Structure 1
């Protein structure tokens, strides 16, 4: 197995009596595409929000490239190489497509900005829309723009939260190609409900249920797991 780029131990976050994430142990191998799946309310978005620093852990610790980042704020984790694209599209609607990506490239410290921004747009197929106001893009193109913004950060870990939601089949095929092009230079953690996408892209899958890890394994192992079938995939 490849070196571990990120590990969580005992990661916990409760909201009142709700155990959103409860004592989760998790390893992410460098250069892999790792999918995180589970029923609605399983704790997936809370878990990746803990990894990215958007919310604080109640207990446990997170190591990234061997360094403890448990208490680092989100912007500091971005500087370390963790990019997180959100479940709900987060773009600057009044700015051009190019400016959205250029701002991401600037925050990474890329110079000159234009080649870095245009490279990211080219990778998601939005070069011809660089001058368009981002808020006028279709929903699917806005999702691809968000991925371009993540790529412009030159991440070592790219976390994608429900990236294919609202995409057409053609856009999903483009997205799959983008993700496959990112590795092994970067590592991808994919939170996704579309099981066709998961099974095509992921080398390993972790299943969350009620805030706990139900199973981790290859796609074949996850498909064959009776507990996963009962909780999520169906018999």
Structure 2
């Protein structure tokens, strides 16, 4: 079966006071893949996914998602179109229960199966037994998983995960990798991650950003062998 392009960005640009955070990036996501976005600190990764999710407007360039031009769509409309973005810094409602956090995500897509869908999302990340706990009392790692459950509860076609393993213990990282694998091919995953073991283990393809531009795109083996990537990021 021929690969289907889910998201296509062309010439995407965003500058801040002369800083070229994202500088003319061309980027493609194939439906049903796990695609990792890596690069040094300050390479433009979070700005780039913020452009894709609509949290920051692009200054130039275009974004097409599922064949539709979404370049000017606001973030909430992109969520409805099927793009879910979990943040680099945990964004949960600490005073609410774990269940209520996920139920809010379910409610936002006007599901008639609120309780069932929320519990299904919690079960996928292994938190169904903590549904009635106050979210703010959970460990940082479990709070990250609540956020992933909130993303899954949106039933997205594209799930963007920004530094999801940050602060997780090794055992939690192994569980997280299983969760991500379970998402595809039902959804496509775009993963920003500094843990290279996670990247190389999970990703079908990897794009490397450096100084706001694409340095390389390819399979994990191709990226590992790329001399320019070794020099800029992998320490080779």
Give the Å deviation of 1:228. Answer: 0.1
Deviation at 1:234, TM superposition (A): 1.1
Cross-structure match for 1:104:
105
Moved over 4 A (4+): none
Equivalent residue, structure 1, for 2:130: 129
Q: Tell me which residue corresponds to 2:32.
A: 31
What CA deviation, in whole Å up to 9, does each residue of 1:83-111 have, x standing for no partner? 00000000011100000000001102221
Partners of 1:98 and 1:3 lie apart in 2 by 35
Give unmatched runs, 5+ long, in structure 2: none
Residue matched to 1:227: 228
Q: Compute the RMSD of aligned alpha carbons.
A: 0.5
Offset of residue 114 of structure 1: 0.5
Post-superposition offset of 1:2: 1.1
- 1:19 maps to what in 2? 20
CA distance in 2, matches of 1:82, 1:170: 28
Cross-structure match for 2:43: 42
| 1:22 match: secondary structure | strand
User: Counterpart of 2:174?
Assistant: 173
| TM-score when normalising by structure 1 | 0.99
Paired residues, number: 235
Point out where structure 1 has 5 or more consecutive residues left out of the alignment.
Answer: none
Kindly provide the CA deviation profile for residues 80-139 of structure 1, in whole angstroms up to 9, marking residues without a partner as x. Answer: 000000000000111000000000011022211000000000000101110001111100
1:10 CA drift (Å): 0.1
User: Partners of 1:2 and 1:76 in 2: how far apart?
Assistant: 26
Deviations 1:53-97 (A, max 9, x none): 000000001000010000000000000000000000000111000
Equivalence for 2:87: 86
Q: Is the aligned partner of 1:155 residue 2:134?
A: no
Distance 1:194 1:225 in 2: 18
Counterpart position of 1:199: 200
